[in-house]
Structure 1
Amino acid sequence: MDKIKEKLKKLDNSFPLQQYNHDQLWNAIDNKINKRRKVRQFYLTYAAVAASLLILAIVLTKSMNTDMTYSQSEDMVFHSYEEAPEVEEAESEAIEFIKRSCVANLPVCKTPEFKELRKELDLLDKEINQLNEMINQYGEDELLIKSKIKIENHKSDVTRKLVQILIA
């Protein structure tokens, strides 16, 4: 405390301590601190309310989108199985065309791109067979069916690319 008094004596006379009551000074400081606390509390309260409303809106939006996604995916699953015989027939014809073309030793069949697509097609066939076994073993699980549909769609894309390469 003595050091503080010494430092105060060294200060300029621009702030004479004798003119102010110490109680008034502390009350003024407390009032200023309390005002800042009230303002800070006001902003924090409204920020918390805004954040909770934002979280609620996100959760509600996600839950509504999730419901729509499931209903659309279920429709896709049923449509894909209804159309499956026609699609499988067209796809098997395309695969037979690819095999016949390669048996005829077309130069296109020896390109690296074509060979890579053929390997991918074989791999996709194996994956579909594995999924079919899993579906037979565990039943028609939605996740398994969705996976099978994605792989079948990819297989169709690869088959289409191969046929385009052969025709071009």
Structure 2
Amino acid sequence: HKKSCQSDLGSMSPVSGVVFKKCPQNVELIGLEMKLYTRNNLETPQIFKYDEAQKLNESNFNAAKLTRTLVHGYKTSCDHEWAVGMRQALLNESDINVFCANWEIGASPLLYDQAVANTHIVGLMIAKFFNDVSKVVGSIGPNLHLIGFSLRAHVCGIVGSNIPNCSR
């Protein structure tokens, strides 16, 4: 009998971590925020929950521009110097949309294995957000780049594999 983990985004198998197999925490506890930055709001983000893509019509998001999404890692947030520096560099270089997927609560449990398990649900939440964005403004997959390494890259891989025509 195989254990199954249930979430608002479906069921999945427990994720093998360093020591334990864990189920992801629930989406409310993880508290993902999609923080949008553009040249019109360089320092103060416009914040969306993963199921609020329809609110982009009331934001600085421009579907005609490229979209870059930063994903932070274990025990960090979108306020970490890596994410801030990358966001500033991207917006200095190009007039684009930059999202930072802030999952600080889900990325900061006591056990690293729990954060590893949370990557799966965080990836699905981000994918749902961008698939819903595509329903609002048309497909953004070809204009979407996901940026992360280490644990962050796992999240990006899950996102990319769940968005049709995701560029990178």
TM-score if structure 2 supplies the norm length? 0.24
TM (norm. structure 1) is 0.24
Q: Larger relative CO (CA 8 A, sep 6+): 1 or 2?
A: 2
- Larger gyration radius, structure 1 or structure 2: 1
